[in-house]
A and B are shown apart, each in its own frame.
Chain A
Amino acid sequence: MRKTDADGPILEIDSLSISFFTRAREIPAVMDFSLTVQPGEAVGLVGESGCGKSTVALGVMQDLGTNGRIVGGTIRFKGRDLAQLGREELRDLRGCEIAMIYQEPMASLNPAMKIGRQLMEVPMIHGGLSAKQARAMALRMLEDVRLPDPRRILNAYPHQLSGGQQQRIVIAMALMSKPSLLILDEPTTALDVTVEAGIVDLVRDLGRKYGTSMLFISHNLGLVMGVCDRVCVMYSGEAVERGSIKDVFDDMRHPYTQALFRSIPRPGADKIRHPLVAIPGNFPLPHDRPGGCNFGPRCSYFEAGRCDAQNLHMAPVPGKDRHETRCVRFREIDWNQPLQAPDRAARAQVGEVVLEMEGLRKYYEVTPNTLFGSGGKRVVKANETLSFDVREAETLAIVGESGCGKSTFAKVLMGLETATDGKITLDGREIQDKPIHKRGRALVADVQMVFQNPFDTLNPSMSVGTQIMRALEVFGIGRSDAERRARMLEMLDLVKLPRDFANRRPRQLSGGQKQRVGIARAFAGGARIVVADEPVSALDVSVQAAVADLLMDLQRERKTTLLFISHDLSIVRYLSDRVMVMYLGHVVEIGATEQVFAPPYHPYTEALLSAVPIADTHLQKTRIVLEGDIPSAMDPPPGCPFQTRCRWKDRVPGRLCERVLPPDIPLGEGHRIKCHLSADVLAEMEPVIKPAAT
């Protein structure tokens, strides 16, 4: 393959500006952005959605689409200015020397082309290899990305593989030509946590093996820490801080970086001792940026007349290696000043049991055709014997990855589905067989839900006020429209939204604001149990904390029981009283938060904990990478549901795990796990997260 060799940096971006042009105006997406990637180095690019990090990547690839254009600055790859390259030269570079991996693995692979052909294409174009050689190479590459049975996979179509396998293919494809630079744009966002951990490990190892430089784009500080040597933090189109991981994570010199770290839950933090501090305000829209420092209006160190006076430039932090910040006041700010925790009421007193589940089961029958129903019916066991209870004003977190049955459980509780077997008792009434239209108005108002996707949770064609009013109407609150209107405005106050939002359409709101409306709607009827299905996972990091806090404030004030469904163990640890871990429809562990987050663990909980990316250089964790993917609920493994991926399986004698479903083992104080491991083996377990040895 024709590769240029150069001694200098692999990639040098110098004061790059990129704009998108619409008919009305020019929208600057990236401004004055500089970055250098040295050979063999992995650089992280961190920021919230819309900060321009993906645009930088596409700018490097010279693929900005029809209305994007580089309006200033240069991008040099191994010393060559990419803007000066001809079409042929550019094509020789792409895929050969610079490769890119992005978010949706399924979408990145051609659905109508076999995996093998898609992989072989790369060396055939760039290296002029024959089909046979290319095939051999593809086979080796598949082994490198640790895919089982590579021969079969070469002949498979993308849809026949799981998400994790697809992403491995995409990685293999990117590495086929041994590129000098690999750009990864949120490569794991669409994947489950345990799968994500495997991919991140793979990327790190392969990067080292081939000496590839990497530009790793992510919103997740923990992931960046795990993969990268250096990091660049972006905010609203600009780089605000740049430096080594250690410098930026431990001695940050930009208020935004600091605020970002303070708004994410860290292991060990809980809602009473280390409350999260949300960043006030909203992300500025690209055409609506403030003068001077973009972060100014949201910054607690803001000083009028200085911060908003002129455009700021990156300035080096004295005494550090290549650590720079875009803040005029970074020398004056006391960076070690402890956080002034906002006053927060103590944890609410947990009351009586309100909701009880006893041996709840939910099976689905899947039939191929309804008009001429024939052929084999298949049963999906979405929930298997769930038993637990929740008390008033308690937060129970339900944790699990996709397919674990947590959403099905929510549907059964809400009455959108009826249980196949078992009992749900709410305040002494059995409701498992009552679909929603048979529940009384009060019961419906009592059990409400907050949904995951903020862009989907509100009806786009109704104003915000109308939607809350409708909920009030349905729940029979208020005697007249005027009364309901007043109540609706109060609800807006309650979720800290301005009252004039009542007349707005959902599309005029940001994701966090929509989620607040969703919360207002759920609490409108004075709900006693609120099921929050991943309410913050689709939000930006800086907004997550604010929404989570709001949810907890409301809960505390109203003594609401909160069932918090999430896959994010950091936030779960931060806000829940008790945790329930689910896997393939089974509850594998349940207990108080401290119990679940400390050994002995259920092997799955242990793996889950280990997979959570941690953005803290003072902690280290045991790496446990689960093999394979989550089995399908249509066709679960015999015995213990987790046995196919369990690393402790061989500690149980007589292949018991493969034959018998383990019983619930009580570990005291309401903590129980579903596992065959004996007490002394459990006692051997060590904490997954430990303070780093310094």
Chain B
Amino acid sequence: MALFILRRLGVMVLTALCMTLIVFALTNLPPNLEKLAKTQAGTRITDDEVHSWLERNGYSAPILRRYGEWLGVVPASVATDAAGNVVGGRCLRGVRSTSIERVPRYCGVLQGEWGYSTKFRVPVSDLVTERLARTGVLMFWAFATMVPLALIFGVLAGMREGSVTDRTLSTISIASTSTPEYVSGVVFVVVFASSAVGLKWFTGSAKSAVNGITFENFTLPVATIALYGMGYIARMTRASMAEVMTAQYIRTARLKGVKFRDIVLRHALRNALIAPFTIVMLQFPWLLTGVVIVEALFVYPGFGDALVQGAQNNDIDLLLAVSVVAVVVVLVTQLISDIGYALLNPRIRVS
């Protein structure tokens, strides 16, 4: 087991490296850098000024070298003026002193330096932590609504395949998988929050949720995220449950004289939940898209909003941090899903 986890961690690191390299390469394409220079130093600057701005801020070195700088395995290049004072460069961002001795040589991820957001003008680590906390709350509630509902739906539907309950719940699940967040969000706002035709039960913006979550301002975003994922998990659970219910060992249990309720709870449930468990965990990368959409639609300044802002303004350090966080979340959930699968499924555990 330990070896397995170790190997998975290795793959994780490799994946994260590949991914950040891709993100790094895409954000550092010349047109993107030019755009960055213009947003930072003024839109009307000449090409020469763009060039010197990039030079001064350490954006002109070869891409792999700068990737190494970001990682913290290559000393960061610094631009100094005639007096020997540091005027620019990766490590200067966020540091007050300009004397060369006070500026650290390495300032990459390995040193805990995530860089400085050019859009928000704060250290990336502070920004990301704050945003992640907000999104975490949103995700928590979304999961807390979505997963139990989906599992109950799936188990009830798959328990007796072909029954009226099954047909009804399956139709609901299909409808829910067909409703992406930007559709359900729009419909929810129109129905429940719109001042023109709606019921006005909830608010159509979650901006105030930053200062405190209330039933009014948080219901719609949570429901919007939960709805799209719910149908998918419910359908997987149903399929898995229906398959288990036709298994020979369920017949054995039935012919042993076990009560239907006990067949479902003791014999079927554990076997039926193995597959959905994996699915639930793999929902995280999907949920991220949902989070971005919902945060945009309901104006909630969370992690998704940071991603959008970072991308729209080519905020390189922010985007890199965002993608590291995203990939870590994805891979950790994959790892948990594998371990959980092994724990739930005694057949795997031994080998």
Partners in one complex: yes
Question: In the complex, are the beta carbons of B7 and A157 less than 8 A apart?
Answer: no
Q: Is the CB of B248 within 8 A of A94?
A: no
Q: Mark A113-157, 1 if CB is under 8 A from B, else 0.
A: 100000001100110000000000000000000000000000001
Interface presence of A319 (CB below 8 A): no
Number of A-B pairs, beta carbon distance below 8 Å: 76
A545 contacts chain B at the CB level, 8 A cutoff:
no
**What is the bound-complex CA distance between A553 and B8, given in angstroms?**
58
Cβ 8 A contact of B271, one of A63, A110, A375: A110
For B256, the chain A residues whose CB sits under 8 A away are 94-95, 99, 121-122, 125, 173
CB distance from B277 to the nearest CB of A (A): 12
Cβ-based interface call for A490 (8 A): no
Given contacts A113-B267, A157-B346, A159-B347, contact A108 B252 (CB under 8 A): yes
Is A502's beta carbon under 8 Å from chain B?
A: no
**What 1/0 mask marks residues of chain B from 101 to 115 whose CB sits below 8 Å from any chain A CB?**
000000000000000
- Once the chains are docked, how many angstroms separate the CA of A369 from the CA of B11? 13
Q: Which of B11, B255, B271, B274 has the most CB of A within 10 A?
A: B255
A110/B253 in contact, CB under 8 A: yes
Q: Is there contact, CB below 8 Å, between A375 and B257? A: no
Chain A: CB-nearest residue to B268:
A110
Q: Do A91 and B257 touch across chains, with their CB atoms under 8 A apart?
A: yes
Chain B residues with CB under 8 Å of A93's CB are: 257
Instruction: Name the one of B10, B161, B162, B249 contacting A111, with C-beta atoms under 8 angstroms.
Output: B249
- A107: chain B residues at CB < 8 Å are 247-249
**Contact (Cβ within 8 A) B345 A91:** no
B344 interfacial contact with A, CB 8 Å: yes
Contacts of B252 in A (CB 8 A): 108-110, 170, 173
Taking a contact as CB atoms closer than 8 A, the residue among A94, A109, A374 that contacts B249 in the complex is: A109
Count of A interface residues, CB-CB < 8 Å? 33
| Shortest Cβ gap from A436 to chain B (Å) | 32
**How far is the CB of A247 from the nearest CB of chain B, in Å?**
32
Whether, in the assembled complex, B167 has its beta carbon less than 8 Å from a beta carbon of chain A, the answer is no
Smallest Cβ distance from A107 to chain B, in angstroms?
Answer: 4
B234-268 contacts to A (CB < 8 Å): 247-249, 251-259, 266-267
Given contacts A112-B270, A157-B347, A369-B7, contact A61 B255 (CB under 8 A): yes
Contact in complex: B253, A112 (CB < 8 Å): no
Q: Which residue of chain B has its CB nearest to the CB of A98?
A: B255
Instruction: Find out whether the CB atom of A125 lies under 8 angstroms from the CB atom of B347.
Output: no
Does B82 lie at the interface of the complex (its beta carbon under 8 Å from any beta carbon of A)? Answer: no
Given known pairs A110-B267, A112-B345, A113-B267, the reply for A102 and B248 (CB within 8 Å) is yes
Task: Name the residue of chain B whose CB is nearest to the CB of A183.
Answer: B255
Partner of A372, one of B10, B162, B247, B346: B10
Shortest C-beta distance, A128 to chain B (Å), equals 12
Q: For A66, give the chain B residue with the smallest CB separation.
A: B162
CB contacts (< 8 Å) of B255 on chain A: these are 61, 63, 94-95, 99-100
Q: How far is the CA of A9 from the CA of B254 in the complex (A)?
A: 25
**Who on chain B is nearest to A157 by CB?**
B346
Q: Please name 16 pairs of A and B residues whose Cβ atoms are closer than 8 Å in the assembled complex, sorted by A.
A: A63-B255, A91-B258, A93-B257, A95-B255, A107-B249, A109-B249, A110-B249, A110-B271, A111-B346, A112-B344, A121-B258, A122-B256, A157-B346, A159-B347, A170-B252, A372-B7
Closest 4 CB pairs of A and B: A107-B248, A95-B256, A95-B257, A94-B257
Interface residues of B (CB under 8 A from A): 3, 7, 10-11, 161-162, 247-249, 251-259, 266-267, 270-271, 274, 344-347, 350
